[in-house]
Chain A
Amino acid sequence: MVDPNLLIGLSMLTTGLVLGAIFALTAAGVTIVYGCIWLPNAASGQFFLLAPLVAWSLSTAMGWSPILAVAAVLIAGLPFAYLLERLLIRRFYDVPDRNIAYFVVTLGITQILSGVFSITWGQWSDQYNIPPLAEGVVFIGPFPLPANRLIALVGALALLGALFVGLRYHRFGRALRAVFQNREAAALRGVDVQRIYLGAFLLGTSVIFAGGLLYAMAYSFDLSVAWSMGITAFAIMIVGGPGSVLGALVVGMLFGFVQAAVSVFASPTAATLSYLLAMLVILLLRPSGLFAR
């Protein structure tokens, strides 16, 4: 017989790993957009929820296979983000204090989306489940892990890896990092800054959608995920250092394990509260974050 404490401990580890990878991915999406465009997306939590809600509708109400539903949402996310950038985001590119304007505008989007959620999906169900892609439990060494969570974990890690490599070596990634570091200098070197902004917004938003979809593949979810994830992603970005993908990765993983541990011993709200406090402490003591360049 296995020691039950050991089992709890192991499942905590795997949960932490899955949550951490998803947190890190989502926060990376938020931090790329902020670092590049200076857009602190307060609606990231709502975006994170929107994607799996649509996928849930496609797979349960319309009977699509979950793989198809997830892929369709990811693809549909691109024109959504594109329209948002054209209609709204780009209007502020020349505003001096645009991060405040953006924050207020995205708070407005948050309010709209949460209103929409509560009169639509909120009426249809309390809990949402995307049908699992795979059944059963896989053992990685001694670690038990449901197969669909393993898929989510692998997906999140793969995307994170791709982000890292892409930002470092791809032409677009390098241009994006140049804009991160110094807008004016990048513009002088002939980088089309507005195109990079558009690309960063599409990339960051898609990454957030992907994070939400991966989360929904691993766990069932409800509407409260939006605000807790919004806070978590922001806290990770601030603590890790706005614009730092490495910071998002390290702090995201850390927060994932914290969440897993706290959820065993206390309520998840305690975890959210601890992120809030961590964010506040960093804001007050070291606003540039732990991993600032």
Chain B
Amino acid sequence: MNRMRASKDMWLWISGAALVIGLALATAGNRFAAFIIGIVFLNVLWTAGMNLLYGYTGLVSMMTAGVAGIGAYGTVKLFLDYGWSFWFAVPVSAVGAAAVGVILGLPALRLRGFYFVLSSLVIQVALTLVFIYFPQFTNGDTGITQIPRPGLWLPGFGAVDLTGPGFEIILGLLALAGVAVVYMIIRSRMGAFIIAIREDDLLAEELGIDVTRYKVMVFFISSLLMAVGGAFYAVYTGFISPRSFDVLMSMNIWLMVAFGGRGTIAGPIIGSAILVPIPFLLQELYQIKDIFYGSLIILVTVAMPAGVYGTILKWWRVRRQKQNTAVAPVAIKRMPAE
């Protein structure tokens, strides 16, 4: 049974990788389309982190963009100013960003409900101010431009060219890895615990689950995903500024998770795939992006709290449920021995 599931999973990931590579190669001739695909991949990675936090654990964090920003600025600093290899700078600054995120978020994680949301928002706004007012690290409001793409040397392949579709492939595989991490967590006992925390944290604690510990772990892992995404965003677009990582980004990522279907593996992917390209395709109407996303936030909250995929799933379950409803007979049986 377990082996069957494992091999089924394996095929799922392999076809995911094939799809990702196929998408990147198919758009290779059209830089505009390729760029949209690349940004979708980055958002899939970010939404995977947000999904773990919000979709599965029930924590609405508004400081996710700030953490991504720390990862981005940290990587760029190490990469450009200290001459580190990009591939070494990313994990170091991602772990650093996640650690900072946890240290900042730790006191807030003790708070419940709305107070946690508000604290995370306050931290996000403070981080944005820090990005603006510490120009020695961030170049302030102007931002950092012309960040070069890193080179990559693979044993057996030699130097790989990352200016073309190579980089989209890397972003796609990264996104896939992020989704796989979330998937594996959800399948594990930790997954059962964080869902329990989302459903009723007091009851989870009552059953012996160390709620704070799991919240911190989830926060750390999702911060890692956010920060890695931030680092790759920096070298992919070549430009970062405090505005790239402001509260609007946190809200947009939240929206993609909620719109696609929180607490499902496919939902956030669907959300990113639908919502990311829209502002690009609006072209000269790019200005109304905020109005569009803002309206969607309200619409999703009011009309479709389960999201696109969640709604489909629900409908499907109801159909299946109708086919097997059984009632338990009443007869007293022996109590099990201790």
A–B interface present (Cβ within 8 A): yes
Which residues of A come within 8 Å of B, CB atoms? 40, 42, 88, 91, 97, 99-101, 103-105, 107-116, 118-119, 231, 234, 238, 269, 272-273, 276-277, 279-280, 283-284, 287
For B293, give its contact among A99, A111, A238 (CB under 8 Å): A111
Bound: A280/B122 CA distance, A: 7
Bound: A112/B298 CA distance, A: 10
Contact with A along B118-137 (1 / 0, CB 8 A): 11011101100100010000
Contact with A along B284-317 (1 / 0, CB 8 A): 0001111101111110011000000000000000
Which residues of chain B are near A269, meaning CB under 8 Å?
A: 129, 133
Bound: A99/B107 CA distance, A: 20
Smallest beta-carbon distance A80→chain B, Å: 16
A100, B117: Cβ atoms closer than 8 Å: yes
Smallest beta-carbon distance B44→chain A, Å: 22
Nearest 8 Cβ contacts at the A-B interface: A111-B294, A108-B297, A115-B290, A112-B294, A115-B291, A99-B114, A108-B298, A284-B107
Q: Is B144 an interface residue (CB 8 A)?
A: no
For A111, give its contact among B107, B117, B129, B290 (CB under 8 Å): B290
A283, B118: Cβ atoms closer than 8 Å: yes
Known: A104-B60, A115-B289, A279-B122. Is A109-B114 also a contact (CB below 8 A)? no
Contact with A along B247-263 (1 / 0, CB 8 A): 01001001000000000
Which residues of chain B are near A277, meaning CB under 8 Å?
A: 126
Q: Is B164 an interface residue (CB 8 A)?
A: no
Bound: A119/B290 CA distance, A: 11
Q: Is B10 an interface residue (CB 8 A)?
A: no
Which residues of chain A are near B301, meaning CB under 8 Å?
A: 101, 104-105, 108
B114, A103: Cβ atoms closer than 8 Å: yes
Q: Is B113 an interface residue (CB 8 A)?
A: yes
Most-contacted residue by chain B among A40, A91, A115 (CB, 10 A): A115
Smallest beta-carbon distance A203→chain B, Å: 22
Q: How many A-B residue pairs have CB under 8 A?
A: 97
A231, B251: Cβ atoms closer than 8 Å: no
Bound: A111/B121 CA distance, A: 14
B119, A280: Cβ atoms closer than 8 Å: yes
A118, B251: Cβ atoms closer than 8 Å: no
Bound: A158/B297 CA distance, A: 38
For B248, give its contact among A40, A104, A111, A273 (CB under 8 Å): A111
Bound: A97/B113 CA distance, A: 7
B294, A108: Cβ atoms closer than 8 Å: yes
Known: A273-B126, A284-B119. Is A100-B114 also a contact (CB below 8 A)? yes
Name the CB-closest residue of B to A96.
B113
Bound: A234/B117 CA distance, A: 13
For B117, give its contact among A103, A105, A109, A113 (CB under 8 Å): A103
Name the CB-closest residue of A to B295.
A112
Q: Is B108 an interface residue (CB 8 A)?
A: yes
Bound: A169/B113 CA distance, A: 34
Bound: A116/B108 CA distance, A: 33
Name the CB-closest residue of A to B126.
A276
Which residues of chain B are near A103, meaning CB under 8 Å?
A: 114, 117-118
The contact sample of 25 A-B pairs, CB cut-off 8 A, is: A40-B118, A42-B121, A88-B302, A103-B117, A107-B62, A108-B294, A108-B295, A109-B298, A110-B294, A111-B294, A115-B291, A115-B294, A118-B287, A118-B290, A119-B288, A269-B129, A269-B133, A272-B129, A273-B129, A280-B123, A280-B126, A283-B111, A283-B119, A283-B122, A284-B119
Bound: A154/B289 CA distance, A: 41
Q: Is B115 an interface residue (CB 8 A)?
A: yes
For B291, give its contact among A91, A116, A280 (CB under 8 Å): A116
Bound: A42/B121 CA distance, A: 10
Bound: A277/B289 CA distance, A: 31
For A287, give its contact among B60, B115, B289, B293 (CB under 8 Å): B115
Which residues of chain A are near B123, meaning CB under 8 Å?
A: 280
Give residues of chain B (245-279) contacting chain A, Cβ–Cβ below 8 Å: 248, 251, 254
Apart from the given pairs A40-B114, A283-B111, 5 other A-B contacts in the complex at a CB distance below 8 Å: A99-B113, A99-B114, A111-B290, A112-B298, A284-B108
Name the CB-closest residue of B to A119.
B287
Which residues of chain A are near B295, meaning CB under 8 Å?
A: 108, 112
Which residues of chain A are near B251, meaning CB under 8 Å?
A: 107-108, 111
Which residues of chain A are near B297, meaning CB under 8 Å?
A: 104-105, 107-108, 111
Smallest beta-carbon distance B139→chain A, Å: 17
Bound: A212/B293 CA distance, A: 26
Which residues of chain B are near A284, meaning CB under 8 Å?
A: 107-108, 110-111, 119
Which residues of chain A are near B291, meaning CB under 8 Å?
A: 111-112, 115-116
Bound: A103/B133 CA distance, A: 28
Which residues of chain B are near A279, meaning CB under 8 Å?
A: 122
Smallest beta-carbon distance A126→chain B, Å: 16
For B298, give its contact among A40, A105, A116 (CB under 8 Å): A105
Name the CB-closest residue of B to A230.
B125
Most-contacted residue by chain A among B110, B290, B293, B295 (CB, 10 A): B290
